[in-house]
Structure 1
């Protein structure tokens, strides 16, 4: 019984960590844009999330990204011989990329920057590379890692909103958003597509963390589970 309680505690701890990562991803662009609407903060809406590095909201931008990065590095998933299915490898990679994006800035909007810290400006290509790898890793986690492990349950039919369908939608959605950014389709296109990509990333982690619950109709539609025991939940993870 004691071992079972420890297992349950570890399970719930993992779910809380997944939810924390998800919430941070979703609320980062929302908070930055909302605060930009208030003159008190002295920051206008930036052309991209990365440009908030040069604003008065820089600490929020770097702080949230560092938190996401550290959470991802601390997250210990299942190893896999296939690189794009290796949970530990991908989360560690994403974590370091997030920290890199936080502290290696893109080019400032103006000709000069008086608020740059830790690193010098002029590293746009390196910043863009970190960001691209970060988002692609998010997509790989959703498509190739989160979809592992759901066993066939003949008693419960697969719903359109089955968790694996959501993970794939989020993963491919992230790829589409990143592919559209270079085209500059409209004003603030980069900001919008980055925000959508982060929303998809966060949603994927929230579903994996079972933020909506996993009992009753939600459990059947999302996870194909119904009144499972704690031990069975552990093995289903």
Structure 2
């Protein structure tokens, strides 16, 4: 028996896996907005900054970990033998795994900065460096004191402060996010648009309809990534300090990083939901007949 012939008492559906990945990605921004509305959480500057919020941090890390696990470990099938995935190449499988690893890095290497101006009613999840005191273990010192930091790597005593953290460590989160979204744009535009199933070759197929959506969603992911990248480049290289401050203030006032990340996540989610045929409008007639359904 090889790795692709497991004796399981149930059926694993690749389409359901695709739908699961898609639903989680699509609704993550919605969940975070609801967290803001119902838990007195600051409307953060980006989706990544919700790591520092109550409940929002758990939703962010949990959702990214779920996506990462499926992308990194589930897609290991022989592409030539699975109907619906016949045109997938080994490169595609390795890219899916790389996207999964990138999702792990996004989740467990948080972004820097608070992403918010907190008031007295809001509770933030932060790191404390140089912490002393304990309410439980030391009766003489009731308060925990230290320096609040919104930099994951700087919370390690080895570095001591954000300035001592190597550039590569500070850049892991942003590089991983760019890598993941670029791979997902590639999947939506180039991989999902291939003729992968026997049903899509028969009369009554809806391959053209799906491909229009795949390409539009792939372009939306790419444009969202480019918008955030161009903003970062402008702040770093092209604008004066005063201009950079003015632009960043305007950008954050409208939560544009959150907006573009939402566009990318929702486009990614919807693309994979279509791949999983979440509604019959995207299913081929031959496949519907085989399932005992009607268009």
- Structure 2 CA distance, aligned partners of 1:157 and 1:79? 21
Distance 1:177 1:65 in 2: 19
**Larger helix proportion, structure 1 or 2?**
1
Q: 1:135 aligns with which of 165, 181, 188?
A: 181
Q: Equivalent residue of 1:44, what SS?
A: coil
Instruction: State the 1:126 CA deviation.
Output: 1.8
Pairing 1:210–2:256 present: no
8 Å contact from structure 2 (residues 193, 214) kept in 1: yes
Structure of greater Rg: 2
1:124-175 deviations in Å (ceiling 9; x for gaps): 4221101000100110111121112256747448686x11111111111100
Take 1:73 and 1:158, find their aligned partners in 2: how far apart are those partners? 29
8 Å Cα contact 2:224/2:261 also seen in 1: yes
1:176 Cα shift?
Answer: 0.4
Q: Aligned residue for 1:58?
A: 57
2:113 to 101, 108, 111: 108
In the alignment, which residue of structure 2 is the partner of 1:229?
Answer: 290
CA distance 1:211–1:64, shift in 2 (3 Å): same
- SS at structure 1 position matched to 2:285: coil
The answer to whether the 8 A contact 2:46-2:115 is kept is: no
- C-alpha change, 1:73 and 1:120, in structure 2 (3 Å) is same
Contact 1:97–1:130 (CA<8 Å) still a contact in 2? Answer: yes
- What SS does the aligned partner of 1:86 have? helix
Q: Which residue of 2 aligns with 1:45?
A: 43
Correspondence list, 1:155-166, <5 A:
155-156=203-204, 162-166=209-213
Distance change >3 Å, CA 225–CA 124, structure 1 → 2: farther
In the TM superposition, what is the alpha-carbon distance from 1:86 to its structure 2 partner?
2.9
1:54 CA displacement: 1.6
Tell me the secondary structure at the aligned position of residue 274 of structure 2: helix
Q: 1 CA distance for matches of 2:213 and 2:91?
A: 20
Pick closer, same or farther for the CA change 1:78–1:173 going to 2, 3 Å.
farther
C-alpha displacement of 1:225? 3.0
Q: Which secondary structure does the structure 1 equivalent of 2:13 belong to?
A: helix
Regions of 4+ moved over 6 Å? 82-85, 157-160
Aligned to 1:21: 21
Alpha-carbon deviations, 1:41-91, whole Å to 9, x = none?
3421100011111222211111111111011123225559x9987331121
The 3 A distance-change label for structure 1 pair 60 and 26 is: same
Match of 1:35 in 2: 35
User: Which residue of 2 is the match for residue 68 of structure 1?
Assistant: 67
Q: Is the 8 A contact 2:19 2:273 kept in 1?
A: yes
SS class of match (1:37): helix
Number of paired residues?
211
Where structure 2 has 5 or more consecutive residues not aligned to the other structure, the ranges are 1-6, 81-86, 117-123, 129-150, 155-161, 163-168, 232-247
CA 1:31 to 1:110, structure 2 compared with 1: closer, same or farther past 3 Å?
closer
Contact 1:18 1:208 in 2 (8 A): yes
- The alpha carbon displacement at 1:177 in A equals 0.7
